[in-house]
Amino acid sequence: MTFPLEAFSAVSSAHPWTYVVFGGIGVAFGYTLESAGFGDSRKLAAQFYFKELTVLKVMFTAIVVAMTLLFGAVGLGLIDFSQVWVNPTYLGSGVLGGLIMGVGFIIGGFCPTTSLAAASTGKIDGMMFMLGGFVGAFLFGETEGYFDHWYNDAGHYGRLTLDQVFGLSAPTLVLIFVVMALFMFWGAEQLERIVGGKDQSREPRLRKVGAVGLLGMAVAVLAIGSPSLEGRYQRLTFKRSEAITQADGTVQTLPHVYSADEMLSKRLVFISPAEAFKVRYQQEIKPVYLDVRSEADYNLYHLADAINVPLDQLAAAVPDMLTEPAANTVFIAISNDEQAAIKAWKLLVANKVPNVYILDGGVNHWIATFGTQDAGLHPSATAGDDQLRYVFAAALGDRYASCSPSPMKFEELDYQPRIVLQLKRDKSGGGCG
C-alpha cells in the first residue's frame, strides 16, 4: 500500500512542518530495519534455509498490525478506505516480477529497501545490490515498450482486494490473517529451533503479550464491523462555490461545503439534457451515460453510447468505476424520470465514485427536449412514477434520431453548467518494506 506523491506535495506545501514528521518517520523506519538486522544479507538470506526467520516475523507483524489499525479506524469512521491508494492488480507481470525479485533476494541477500538500509551503514554488498537495482530499472525502462501490451493487460483486475476475492468482510479477514500470522510465528520459531538450533528461551517474553494484544485488537475490529453504506453516505461532503451578496450589494463567490442530501435538495448534481448532450463534444470531459433502467426499457429507447447497468447490478460495477476511468470521466446516471437515478447516485457517491451526476428529468425529459419530431414516439397518458411517458412504435434502442441529436441543429441550447470535475489521484509506485 502506497500513497500518491500528489497528496504528499499538497500536504507538505500547506504545512511545511510536516517535512519534519515525514523525515522522522523515515528515520524511524530505517532504524527499525537496522535494529531488526535487515542490513545484514546473511541474516536475510538465512530465512530461505529456515535457520533465521526474523524477516517473516517482522514483516508479517507490520502487515497485520497495520491492517488491524487501518480497518479499526475505517470501522470507527476515521478513515475512508476508498481514499487509500491500493496498487492495481496485474497478475501476469506481478507473478513474473515476484519470481525475479525472489531469485534476486536469494542470490543477493537483499530486497530494494533493505539494500538501502545496508548501504546507508557502509556495507559494500548493499551498495552493489542497490546499484544493480538502478541498472535493472534502467534496462526495464529501455525495453518496456517491447512487452508493454502484456505487461499492462495480462491478468489486469484493477483495484482488487481480498474481501472482494473471497466474499468476506474486511474485519473478518483481519481476524483470519491475525490468527494465521500468529500460527506462522509459532511455526517459524519451531523451525528456527529445529533447523537453526536457536535457543527460544532467550527470546523476549513480551512477544506473547503482544500476540494476545494483537488478537484482542482483531476481535475488536470484528466487533466494530465496517461502516454501512448509509453511514458513509451521511458523512459525505461536497465543495461548491456559492454566490454571496455582501452588505454593500456586491456579489462574492465563496467556497461552500454541502452534505449529500443538500446536493440533492438544491439540485446541484442534476444536469439538464442540454448539458448532458453538450459534454459529448467537450474534450476536457469524458461522459459515461449510465442507464440504470431495466433491460426492457433500455431496449425500447436509450441514449447513444449509453451503458445499461440495472440498479440491482450497479454495486458489482463499483470497483471498475473506481479504477478504470480517466481523471476527467463523468458518470451521468439515467432513469426514466429521476427516482432510480437518485438511488444510483447515492450508491455510487457513498462508494466514493467521483464525478457522478443525474440526468435532470431522465429519459422523459431528454425526449421532450430532442425528440419532438421523432417518428414513432407518441406521448402516453397512463405512465406512472419513473416510467416512460411515451409509446414506441418499435424497440429500436438507440436508432431513434433523438438518441444522438445533431450538434448543428441544437447548437444554441442554453443551460446552467453543473459539472465540476473532481480530479482523481494518480497512482504511485511501490516496493518491498
What pLDDT shows up at residue 420?
87
Residue 156: partners with Cβ closer than 8 Å, 6 or more residues away:
88, 89, 90, 91
The DSSP annotation for 369-383 comes to: HH-TT-TTEEE-S--
What pLDDT is attached to residue 239? 87
Range of the domain at 178: 5-230
Asked if residue 251 and residue 169 are part of one domain, the reply reads: no
Residues 59 and 193 in one domain: yes
* Kind and range of the H or E run holding 134: helix 124-143
Residue reference for cell 441514449: 303
Domain assignment present for residue 415? The answer is no
Q: Is residue 56 part of a domain?
A: yes
Number of separate domains in the chain: 3
At 90, which helix (H) or strand (E)?
strand 89-90
- C-alpha cell of 128? 552493489
Domain shared by 18 and 148, yes or no: yes
Residue 423 domain-assigned? Answer: no
Q: Which residues contact 147 (CB under 8 A, 6 or more apart)?
A: none
Write down the pLDDT at residue 245. 67
Which of 287, 321, 318, 320 minimizes the C-alpha distance to 305? Answer: 287
Residues 312 and 211 in one domain: no
Residues 22 and 157 in one domain: yes
Number of neighbouring beta carbons within 10 Å of residue 312: 9
Q: Do 340 and 214 belong together in one domain?
A: no
Q: Are residues 136 and 42 part of one domain?
A: yes
- CATH code for the domain in which residue 280 is found: 3.40.250.10
Residue 424, in any domain of the structure: no
Shared domain check, 382 and 306: yes
C-beta of residue 211 within 8 angstroms of C-beta of residue 217: no
Residue 257 lies in a domain: yes
User: Residue 276 is placed in which grid cell?
Assistant: 448532458
- Does residue 55 share a domain with residue 158? yes
| CA geometry: angle 100, 103, 105, nearest 5 deg | 105
pLDDT for the residue 283: 84
Residue-level pLDDT, tens digit, the chain, 433 residues:
344 444 445 555 556 788 888 889 888 888 888 888 888 888 888 888 888 888 888 889 989 999 999 999 998 888 878 778 788 888 888 899 889 888 888 888 888 888 888 898 889 999 999 999 899 989 998 998 888 888 888 888 877 889 888 889 999 999 999 999 999 999 999 998 899 888 888 888 888 899 999 999 999 999 999 888 888 888 888 888 776 666 776 767 778 889 999 999 999 999 999 999 999 988 889 999 999 999 999 999 999 999 999 999 998 888 778 766 677 899 999 999 999 999 999 999 998 888 999 999 999 999 999 987 788 888 887 778 889 999 888 899 999 999 999 888 888 888 888 998 876 544 444 555 4
Residues 97 and 86 grouped into a single domain: yes
pLDDT of residue 414: 85
Domain co-membership, 155 together with 288: no
Decide if 117 is inside a domain: yes
Contact (CB, 8 A) for 218 and 174: yes
Same domain, 150 and 217: yes
